[in-house]
C-alpha cells in the first residue's frame, strides 16, 4: 500500500510553471506550517527557476517560530515592497489571497492551502491546490516531495539534516547526519488518512 497519494497530474502541472527565466517569491504569513511549507516549495523550485526566496508579511516574534527558523535555517525575510520588486512570480502557501490585505498586492501564480474555501472569495491562480481536509499544508507538501521522489531526508538548505530538525531541537543540534536521518523517518512522516 502506498503511503502517499499519487499526485502525478498536480506535480506535472506545478512543474510546468517553472523555468529558469523567472524569479519566484514564496509569500507567507509565518507560522510553523507556513514556514515548513515554504521551505518545501522552495526545495521543489530550487533548481528549476532563476531564483526563489521566502518573504513573510508578519513580524516573527514567537520564540518557537524563531527557533524553528534558526534550527532549520529557513531563509525568510520581512516582505517589503523593495523585496517584492525583485521577483516576477509569486506563490502563496498556507493562506488564500483574501486572508490578509497585504496579499492583495500580489498576483499569485501558485496557491497551496488547506483552509476552507469561501464562495465569495474564489481563488484564481495558474496552479491552485486547496485541501481543507488536511491538517496542514506541510502534509500536502510532503506528498508532493514524495511524488517527486524527493524525500524529507534531502529537504533544504542543510541537505543532510533538515525536516528532522523540526523534531525537538536538542536532539538535532549536536547529532550526526545519520541520527538526523533516522529521526526524520521515524517521527516526522505524516500518514494521510
Ligand atoms: Mn496551516
Kindly give the distance from the C-alpha atom of residue 81 to the centroid of ligand 1, in angstroms, as a whole number.
25
pLDDT at 4: 75
> Each residue of 26-57: pLDDT tens digit?
999 999 999 999 999 999 999 999 999 999 99
- List residues, by chain if needed, whose CB lies under 5 Å from ion ligand 1: 33, 94
Kindly give the distance from the C-alpha atom of residue 21 to the centroid of ligand 1, in angstroms, as a whole number.
30
Q: Say which range, 66-70, 148-152, 175-179, has the weakest mean pLDDT.
A: 175-179
pTM given for the model: 0.77
Helices (H), the chain: 8-16, 32-45, 63-72, 81-84, 137-147, 169-173, 177-187
Kindly give the distance from the C-alpha atom of residue 176 to the centroid of ligand 1, in angstroms, as a whole number.
30
pLDDT at 6: 82
pLDDT at 14: 95
No. of helices (H) and no. of strands (E), the chain: 7, 6
Kindly give the distance from the C-alpha atom of residue 134 to the centroid of ligand 1, in angstroms, as a whole number.
9
Kindly give the distance from the C-alpha atom of residue 83 to the centroid of ligand 1, in angstroms, as a whole number.
24
Kindly give the distance from the C-alpha atom of residue 113 to the centroid of ligand 1, in angstroms, as a whole number.
7
Distance CA 188, CA 113 (A): 20
pLDDT at 160 over 90: no
pLDDT at 151 over 50: yes
E-state strands within 42-106: 51-56, 76-78, 89-93
Q: Which of 100, 104, 124, 127 is nearest to 34 (CA)?
A: 100
Which domains are assigned to the chain?
8-116+123-186 (3.90.1640.10)
Q: Nearest 5 degrees, angle CA 14-CA 16-CA 21?
A: 115
H or E element in which residue 23 lies: strand 23-28
For residues 180 and 190, the answer to whether their CB atoms sit within 8 Å is no
> Each residue of 102-140: pLDDT tens digit?
999 899 999 999 999 999 999 999 999 999 999 999 999
List Cα–Cα distances, 87 to 59, 64, 79, 105, in angstroms.
21, 29, 12, 13
Amino acid at each position: 500500500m502506498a503511503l502517499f497519494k499519487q499526485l502525478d497530474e498536480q506535480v506535472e502541472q506545478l512543474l510546468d510553471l517553472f523555468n529558469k527565466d523567472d524569479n519566484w517569491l514564496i509569500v507567507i504569513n509565518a507560522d510553523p506550517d507556513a514556514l515548513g511549507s515554504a521551505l518545501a516549495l522552495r526545495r521543489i523550485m530550487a533548481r528549476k527557476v532563476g531564483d526563489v526566496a521566502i518573504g513573510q508579511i508578519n513580524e516573527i516574534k514567537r520564540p518557537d517560530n524563531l527557533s524553528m527558523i534558526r534550527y532549520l535555517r529557513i531563509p525568510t525575510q520581512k516582505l517589503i515592497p523593495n523585496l517584492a520588486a525583485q521577483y516576477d512570480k509569486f506563490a502563496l502557501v498556507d493562506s488564500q489571497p483574501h486572508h490578509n490585505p497585504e496579499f492583495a498586492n500580489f498576483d499569485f501564480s501558485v496557491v497551496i492551502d488547506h483552509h476552507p474555501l469561501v464562495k465569495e472569495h474564489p481563488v484564481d491562480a495558474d496552479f491552485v491546490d486547496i485541501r481543507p481536509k488536511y491538517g496542514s499544508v506541510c502534509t500536502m507538501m510532503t506528498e508532493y516531495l514524495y511524488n517527486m521522489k524527493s524525500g524529507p531526508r534531502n529537504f533544504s538548505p542543510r541537505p543532510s539534516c533538515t525536516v528532522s530538525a523540526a523534531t525537538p531541537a536538542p536532539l538535532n543540534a549536536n547529532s550526526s547526519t545519520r541520527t538526523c536521518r533516522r529521526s526524520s523517518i521515524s517521527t516526522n512522516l505524516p500518514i494521510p488518512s
